[in-house]
Amino acid sequence: MFLTNRMSSGKAKHMVRAESEKETNQLKINGVPISVRPKENILSAALRQGIDFPHSCRVGGCATCKCKLVEGRVQELTETGYLLSDEELDNGYILACQSIPQTDVTIQVENKETIFGIVFQQKVLTDEICEISIQLEGSLHFQAGQYVSLSIEGLDAERNYSFANAPNKKGIVSFIVRKVPNGKLSNYIYHENLVGKKAKLKGAFGNFYLRESQKPILMVAGGSGLAPILAILEQGILNGTKRPLTLLFGARKKEDLYKINAIQKIQKIWKGKFTFIPILSEEPINSSWKGKRGLVTSFIRDHLTKSTEAYLCGPPPMVDAATKELLQFGIQKQSIFADRFSTIDHSLSLNIDDKTLRSKAGFFDYIKFFLFHAVGLMSIVSLLLGGMYTTIGFFSLLFFYIVGDELSGDDKSTPSYTKPEILTLQLWLALPILWILFFCSVWTMSPIDTLGFGSWLTQIFGFDFNFAKENTSILVHGYAVLFTGLMIGLVGTITAHELTHRTWDPISMFIGRWLLAFSFDTIFSIEHVYGHHRYVSTTEDPATAPRGRNVYYHVLASTIKGNISAWKIETKRLKRKNLSTFSYHNAFLRGHLMSVCLVILAYLIGGIFGMLFFIAAGLFGKALLEIVNYMEHYGMVRLPEEPVQPRHSWNTNKRISSWTMFNLTRHSHHHAQGEVPYQDLRPYPNAPMMISGYLTTIVIALIPPLWHYLMIPKVLEWDKKYASPEELELVKVANEKSGITLLMKSNQD
């Protein structure tokens, strides 16, 4: 659907090379040559060979890996108009994770200077914060407010820290570091004597710097977030800035305030009006403190005008709360600049590229996925037989999944498949199965024998299908709605989930979107790939259920917000491509029209009752998707700017669920490496585990008291075992909003 070729505007030196040639192409990244295997994308090649390439979702949903195509030609696997701006498209930018070199290729990514220096000063500022100063061996180009990746001799760890001073001719840089619980580098910096040790800096990065403007400035800092603020203030003095400025500095207690004298000196020499307000949130009432008390964000409105330009730096919850306050007051988003401090240790991510333990797939490894098709065909037979057979079929399906998962245990095998075309065919076969299911289930509601279908079956099998249809009770038809909706979810949505990730394959995209049309959810092919995979486990993601949310509310909220998100994503793409919103090019509208066609067809097959039957079954199928979303990421949190890791999805290795759902159960790996096909997903046993298999967990989710009884301990375990220090700050906010006593109480522990 989206397969395109992009050629650099420069001269390609190797255009005559045949694309089918087996030897690898050469890729140059900022001048560094590496090799690329056939059909390997740029990002995978870079990471495989140890190149530190910026990335996050790996499925073309976030644009973190964008780079400039300088020379050569690439095959693009997805529609870049969903993510790249007009300017970036005009300047030849591509997504590394979605670009396969067709020739030798040269690209440029954000420049990363590496420079060394010596630590010459180290000061403890508070019980948690210290400052180090480094004499650089050469010049480093940066703007006040930016950050670098810092490592220090004696410890194998690298973290991002903002400069605490403006650039200077002496080549001296300072950093303010907060001691993070279990933080290797921050504790090393705080506790060890570093004077004389060698430091390595890579950067600079970030777009947190003072903009040229005449607007009044509001700065809000918390903890070590004061560092880039100090750098910006120092640069403002050097530039002779005259703009009025207010600095709100939040801390817990008096002992946590630092650099007060330095700020007061800046206040005296700032050329415009300068207001400095320190605010304490946990200072004892009987102390000598005469200043402001409370959360720093609660004082923002007192210092705003409609033209204020805001600069926010500190823990993510503070930045998020401040941003919300500013937007509610009417400050435009383009006037808010933020730096959310993060010290997540990415070395904790699971090794998802290790294939050394895989054996070659045998016959059974292929045939086991046909169990999916057997379930679909048996369901069709049960619906046609009607009466007690439909009832037995429905409850047998529940029994098969729920009891089967419990008895059969886990599937942790990871065979290496040499014939992926068979596995793709298995996916494609879902569409004819679902079409047959659609016709047969709607036919059972028809007042007539549409197309003589029942008579034809009777002649073949000797069973009176028309009689069975006429004598099926309303209760059984109710079971049939649930049965059909369940199969629309299993056969349609689950298969479409895999197919619509293959944005480079027009056949898979065509089949996938038609499968989604049965559940009125073709927008899934837009929102899921370009929205959900980008924002999963954050408050920006409609599909991620926050702690305390009721599953029935989630079905409704996620459906509405998901459609709104997909509409925004699609209209933005059309605008960038200079295409009309209300035209054939709009995949959002085109997809919903596909569902409308199915509704009309259901009416032609089964009349008004057949149409209503299909609508009810399709909506139930859509609800199942949202229930699955609910349980796959319930209660998890993530910083939007941090790469998705296996810990951000609930996983299960139950055998029946895995075999009949194309390894959707291995969801942790899927979100960590979204480009990996289902057969290659890994069953990480140390990933967060959901309650049981998928259908079991769905049933439990539908009983909110039971769900919360079983899930609260798992969520608390996730906080303790998987959450980073920054995510724990988000956890506190999520717990407070949940309304669940045990979660709120955990904030005090």
Chain segment 699-713, per-residue pLDDT in tens: 999 999 999 999 999
Does residue 743 form part of some domain? no
Question: Domain holding 259: CATH number?
Answer: 3.40.50.80
What are the beta bridge partners of residue 217?
245, 309
Per-residue pLDDT tens over the stretch 48-93:
888 878 776 777 767 778 999 999 999 988 778 787 877 788 889 9
More confident site: 87 or 418: 418
Does residue 575 form part of some domain? no
Question: Domain holding 130: CATH number?
Answer: 2.40.30.10
On whether both 612 and 731 belong to a single domain, the answer is yes
CA-CA-CA-CA dihedral for 572, 1, 516, 590, to nearest 10: 50
Confidence of residue 348 (pLDDT cuts 50, 70, 90): very low
- Is the bond preceding 204 in cis, omega lying within 30 degrees of 0? yes
Confidence of residue 10 (pLDDT cuts 50, 70, 90): low
The DSSP 8-state label assigned to residue 97 in this structure reads G
Burial of 61 (0-12, 13-18, 19+ CB in 10 A): buried
Could you say which of 85, 108, 131 is where a domain stops? 108
On whether both 293 and 402 belong to a single domain, the answer is no
Cα–Cα distance, 122 to 113 (Å, whole number): 24
Per-residue pLDDT tens over the stretch 579-625:
999 999 999 999 999 999 999 999 999 999 999 999 999 999 999 99
On whether both 184 and 240 belong to a single domain, the answer is no
Per-residue pLDDT tens over the stretch 423-454:
999 999 999 999 999 999 999 999 999 999 99
- Structural domain boundaries enclosing 61: 26-108
On whether both 611 and 682 belong to a single domain, the answer is yes
On whether both 298 and 248 belong to a single domain, the answer is yes
Q: What is the pLDDT of residue 11?
A: 43
On whether both 384 and 481 belong to a single domain, the answer is yes
On whether both 414 and 478 belong to a single domain, the answer is yes
DSSP state string for 259-270: -HHHHHHHHHH-
Mean pLDDT is lowest, of 176-185, 196-205, 457-466, for 176-185
Does residue 463 form part of some domain? yes
More confident site: 62 or 222: 222
On whether both 485 and 630 belong to a single domain, the answer is yes
Average pLDDT, the chain: 90
pLDDT greater than 80 at residue 379: yes
Cα–Cα distance, 77 to 634 (Å, whole number): 31
On whether both 725 and 618 belong to a single domain, the answer is yes
For 142, phi then psi, to 5°, come to: -155, 165
**Which 3 state secondary structure label does DSSP give 608?**
helix
At 238, list the tokens: 């050097």
Question: Domain holding 45: CATH number?
Answer: 3.10.20.30
Could you say which of 57, 74, 108 is where a domain stops? 108
pLDDT greater than 80 at residue 209: yes
Does residue 353 form part of some domain? no
Mean pLDDT of 121-145: 93
Could you say which of 344, 376, 411 is where a domain stops? 344
On whether both 128 and 103 belong to a single domain, the answer is no
Residue percentage of the chain with pLDDT more than 90: 70
Residues 6+ apart with CB under 8 A from 726: 315, 316, 340, 341, 342, 343, 344, 639
The helix (H) or strand (E) run that includes residue 86 is helix 86-90
Assign residue 273 a region (left: φ > 0; alpha: ψ between -120 and 50; beta: otherwise): beta
Residues 6+ apart with CB under 8 A from 654: 405, 408, 409, 410, 411, 665, 692, 693, 694, 696
Structurally, the chain folds into a number of domains equal to: 4
Does residue 164 form part of some domain? yes
Does residue 68 form part of some domain? yes
Q: What is the pLDDT of residue 536?
A: 93
Does residue 600 form part of some domain? no
Does residue 529 form part of some domain? no
On whether both 189 and 232 belong to a single domain, the answer is no
On whether both 627 and 520 belong to a single domain, the answer is yes
Choose among 256, 278, 277, 274: nearest CA to 266.
274
